[in-house]
Structure 1
Amino acid sequence: MDLNRELAEQLNDKIISGEELLAKVSRFGNVCGISKLQKKIKQEINFLVKTLQLGLVKKEHLLCTNLHHFCALVNTLETCNELSSVLQHFSFKSDGDSSETTKRLCVDVVADKGRTWMKVVARNPRALSQLCTGAGEYGQRNVIDQAKEFLACAKQHPFMFKPPQIVFVFSSGIEESLCELLEDIGVTIVGEHMPDSCPYQFDEEDESDEEEEAVSEEGTLTPQQSTSIADVVPNRLNLDVTTMLAYVSALTNGGADWEYKQPILKGQALRELKHPVKPVLDSLFEGKELLVCRSAFESFMTILNTLGGPGEKKRATEFIPRITIVEDGEESFEHLKTGGKVKERSRVVFATGLAQKAVTVTANAGFVRSARNQGYEFPVFVHESRALTEGKQFGPPLSF
């Protein structure tokens, strides 16, 4: 009876810690995928609450709850810079696999705007080491298997044309031999280093075909507006139609204080007064080679000739000599479904960026978000959208 009471109290403490964890997670509400993490934590709490209410408390319930792992994950979030997403999935093919089988990998944390992928490991250090020696059940994957999959997947999803850095966070620590092996294959280790509890001989060639859990998550893409981006992107930029329109728009060239009848233009004018787009693009373009694919250029000229005002056309005439027109990229993205925000023109623009090894500059956040949710990550700089507005100004300029 005393044991049952003690277990119930410990279970109640777990529930309280889970609720405190939810409160912490809420501070990351704008991070893509955070709602998925919140849902998982709530499921753990609800299970423990139901177990406590039914009086079916067992020691296994305390040992098997995932709250310990989620706590380590949230603690990791609090140490990261420039969070991009949580529990984001990526598709990849294993090294040396000649089949068309595609695997899915769940990355716990994507940080540094995409430059860093992190996996959080909360297991007992000795158990981790023993599993790597083959002490686990048949087919059970170990942390070395997982590290190799992360490295293979990262090569297939480059950020700014370089594989993301792979970081494994061991919240309970890691034994020295296993740490050295992971570092040797290219994984950065975070966590306390501990002496080996017993001698190990790891099987470095052990492979597993078991797939990672697939996680699909809708989220909000936050446009990047920091002018410091000019220091980190390659020297070649691929311009989308939306970027060229924004650059020559009257709205971004002193016309934001005019009146506009259309609600969308009113909204863009207010945003432009608070967050001017032209200085961001000027900083980004400085010292860069500017490319545009032929179909995007033709679309831009059609829109400009149809809707552009005299000032917008003049600015375009001055801007075009700075741009090099290249042929459309041919990458088909066979698994990227069209429809909704994914239009054929956008596919061509982003394919051109990849073909030219250039960062694509766009205001089409919808395409980037939709592609991300289908497992595609592009080297991209996203800015706010601005339309051609010179022909839609009316009345005297507003005074702000």
Structure 2
Amino acid sequence: MKESGISEELELAKKRCWVVIDRTPRLPLIDSCRSTLLRLAHSELNFLSRCPTRSSTRLSLNIGHLEAIVHILQQPCLTGVSRVCKPIPVSSTDWNGLKTNSCSKGVHVDIVCTLNRQPVWIIVSDRNPRYIPWDKCQKSKGLRLRVEEVLAAARSSMTLKPYSIILFFSNGVGNFVREKLREEFGASEIELEFSVFDFDFSEDLDGEWINVLARSYQDACVLEIKVDDIGDIISSPGCELKGLSVAAVTPRLSEELAERSAGDPFCSLISRMKYCPFEVKNLEYSEMKELLGDVDLINFDTTALIALVSGISNGGTEKLLGTPESELRQRFKGNFEFVIGQVMSEIENPIHVELGGVISGRRGIICESVHSEFMDLVLMCGGPNEKFRANQLLKCLTLVPDSPSQRVMGLPTTRKLALKNKVVFGTGDYWFAPTLTANMAFVRAISQTGMSLFTIEHRPRALTGD
């Protein structure tokens, strides 16, 4: 390649690195994932800066791989990203003749996240389809061995075990490799609602915005490989769904809420949830999957239920601000500042507006532990209006047994990973439902383990005795 051509390729690659570096801070990632991406992008930029412009060989670039990862991370269908470009630890196992040991560095996975309510590992390839070898060759271990290693790690993992492995070929994949993946690993092509084009703009010297980089993922191929029988992933030892006590939601309740919703924001809010609770009686996973096929569930923890019924969330801010400070301090003791902070937050951003978009059209579930804790708190601290709202809310929710997923229960129980929280969030994980919560300390503790857990954050609210 001519010197001028190499120089132009180097400059373009550097610009692409800067685009990745610029986009990464805006991605919805935890700090550890963001810093890993930035470190890799800066490393690639430093490598390119040291490359000589005079060379007889074509440059070997990794920036395309990082671009593809950033493109995937920008997609709204991905949630709960917990690991980016890090190896997954491998425990001692022997699967299909493939041995691993605890001393190995693990297997590289590009993204650990939640996709369509299920935990997945994503492997990204930005290679030209013609140069993706299936079997081992001089320069590569081959795709077959790579997939075998990732599957072995997935099947041996307890807490990070995914539902499936997603293979994202940003430039497509050849028919031979695609057919081999289907025959040997049961891979199937899936359609994701990913944007096809990726643009980046910058301002030139005349103040005009010009397109610097544009990349198409129109030829991308996305394949899914199921790890194994999902029943092994989600069921907890000794935990059976033995049927449940469900507050019957009748047409009368729906009519009652409809009548009240015009003048009651709370009833208007909960009337936007789906009704018709289902019953669970020793469901097999296949039956549960069929049941959940067209159902969008959301799991409420205690903080979410309190936020919905709290007097602060339901028009009580003016009354609280009009109460003498001494009286409020006497009522709330050491929580006075906490409650006043919530009052000011509610005035600026009403939580019912925030939660309306989250729960609308979804069917709400709560586990037995949350039901018990919520009722105790409302009886002890709630006022008559809060108790009434709590009663109305529970009629709209499906009560399911405590049924935490095996992977969540596999995490060590610590002060930050308390057993009761593992049960609540694990039950949401069992049902492939996001958990609506203000307990971000637990969410952060989960993310630090590397596990991807589907959660939705809300601002906290307290019972006021309203």
Give the shorter-chain TM-score range. Answer: 0.5 to 0.7
Match of 2:343 among 257, 266, 269: 266
Could you tell me which residue of structure 1 aligns to residue 125 of structure 2? 121
Tell me the residue number matched to 2:311. Answer: 250
Paired residue secondary structure (2:145) = helix
For 1:265-304, what aligned pairs fall within 5 Å after superposition?
Answer: 265-270=342-347, 272-273=349-350, 276=353, 279=356, 283=360, 286=363, 290-294=365-369, 296-304=370-378
Q: By how many angstroms is 1:88 displaced?
A: 6.2
CA deviations on 1:121-149 (whole Å, 9 max, x unpaired) are 122433323xx233236xx5322333455
Determine which of 389, 409, 412 is the counterpart of 1:333: 409
Secondary structure at 2:37's aligned position in 1? helix
- Counterpart of 1:215 in structure 2 is none
Match of 2:59 among 63, 84, 91: 63
Give the letter for the 1:166 counterpart. Answer: I
Instruction: Quote the offset at 1:366 in angstroms.
Output: 3.5
For the pair 1:169 / 2:176, whether they are aligned, the reply is no
Give the aligned partner of residue 44 of structure 2: 44
Partners of 2:306 and 2:463 within 8 A in 1: no
Matches within 5 A, 1:215-254: 234=295, 238-254=299-315
Q: Deviation at 1:358?
A: 6.2
2:445 aligned with 1:370: yes
Partner of 2:181: 182
CA distance in 2, matches of 1:320, 1:105: 45
The one of 325, 333, 348 equivalent to 2:423 is 348
Once residues 439 and 294 of structure 2 are traced to their aligned partners in structure 1, the CA distance between those partners, rounded to angstroms, is: 18
* Number of the residue aligned with 2:17: 18
Cross-structure match for 2:459: 385
Measure, in 1, the Cα distance between the counterparts of 2:436 and 2:101.
32
Opposite residue 123 of structure 1, the aligned amino acid is R
String of CA shifts for 1:144-176, please: whole Å, max 9, x gaps: 333455567778999xx99357242242x4332
**Cα distance change on mapping 1:21 and 1:354 into 2, 3 Å:** closer
Q: Which amino acid aligns with 2:189?
A: T
Q: Give the direction of change, closer, same or farther, for the CA distance of 1:344–1:265 in structure 2 (3 Å limit).
A: same
Cα distance, 1:7 vs. partner? 5.1
What's the CA shift for 1:362? 3.0
Residues 1:312 and 2:316 are matched in the alignment: no
CA separation of 1:149 and 1:361: change in aligned 2, threshold 3 A? farther
8 A contact 1:239–1:362 mirrored in 2: yes
Question: 2:305 is matched by which residue type in structure 1?
Answer: M
Distance 2:353 2:157 in 1: 32
1:211 corresponds to which residue?
Answer: none
**Kept after mapping to 2: 8 A contact 1:91/1:105:** no
Whole-Å separation in 2 of the counterparts to 1:141 and 1:302: 58
Counterparts in 2 of 1:329 and 1:179: CA distance versus 1, 3 Å: closer
CA deviation after TM superposition for structure 1 residue 45, in Å: 1.1
Between the aligned partners of 1:111 and 1:329, the Cα distance in structure 2 is 17
2: distance between equivalents of 1:17 and 1:356?
41
C-alpha distance in 2, partners of 1:110/1:354? Answer: 13
Superposition map of 1:201-220 within 5 A: none
1:134 equivalent in structure 2: 136
Q: How many angstroms apart in 1 are the aligned matches of 2:219 and 2:405? A: 48
Distance in 2, matches of 1:330 and 1:177, equals 38
Preserved CA contact (<8 Å) 2:129 2:173: yes
TM-score by length of 2: 0.56
Which amino acid is the alignment partner of residue 163 of structure 1? Y
Q: Given that residues 291 and 323 in structure 1 are in contact (C-alpha distance below 8 angstroms), is that contact kept between their aligned partners in structure 2? A: yes
Over 3 Å counting, the alpha-carbon distance change for 1:146 and 1:281 in structure 2 is same
Cα distance change of structure 1 residues 258 and 120 upon mapping to structure 2, 3 Å threshold: farther
Specify every segment of 5 or more residues in structure 1 that has no aligned partner in the other structure, as ranges.
194-226, 394-400
**Native 8 Å contact 1:121 1:168 kept in 2:** yes
Match for residue 219 of structure 1? none
Say whether the 8 Å CA contact 1:166–1:188 is kept in structure 2.
Answer: no
Give me the whole-angstrom Cα distance separating, in 2, the residues matched to 1:302 and 1:24.
Answer: 46
Q: How many residues are aligned here?
A: 342
Decide whether aligned partners of structure 1 residues 152 and 243 sit closer, same or farther in structure 2, where only a CA change above 3 A counts: farther
**Which residue of the partner structure matches residue 204 of structure 1?**
none
CA distance in 1 between partners of 2:68 and 2:128 (Å): 13
* Cα deviation digits, residues 239-265 of structure 1 (max 9, x gap): 422122123212333335555563431
Matched position secondary structure for 1:106: strand
TM-score in terms of structure 1 length: 0.64
User: Aligned partners of 1:109 and 1:375: how far apart in 2?
Assistant: 8
Distance 1:292 1:362 in 2: 14
How far apart, in 1, do the equivalents of 2:348 and 2:428 lie? 28
Give the SS at the match of 2:367.
strand
Displacement of 1:41 in angstroms is 0.9
Flag the 1:135–1:61 CA change in 2: closer, same or farther, 3 A. Answer: closer
Is the contact between residue 436 and residue 456 of structure 2 (CA under 8 Å) also seen in structure 1? yes
Q: Which residue of 2 aligns with 1:30?
A: 28
CA deviations on 1:27-48 (whole Å, 9 max, x unpaired) are: x433443443222111211233
In structure 2, relative to structure 1, the CA distance for the partners of 1:113 and 1:352 (3 Å cut) is: closer
Deviation of 1:346 after TM superposition, in Å, equals 0.8
1:388 is paired with a residue whose SS is coil
Q: Letter of the aligned partner of 1:169 in structure 2?
A: F
Structure 2 CA distance for aligned equivalents of residues 272 and 62 of structure 1: 55
Task: Show the counterpart of 2:224.
Answer: none
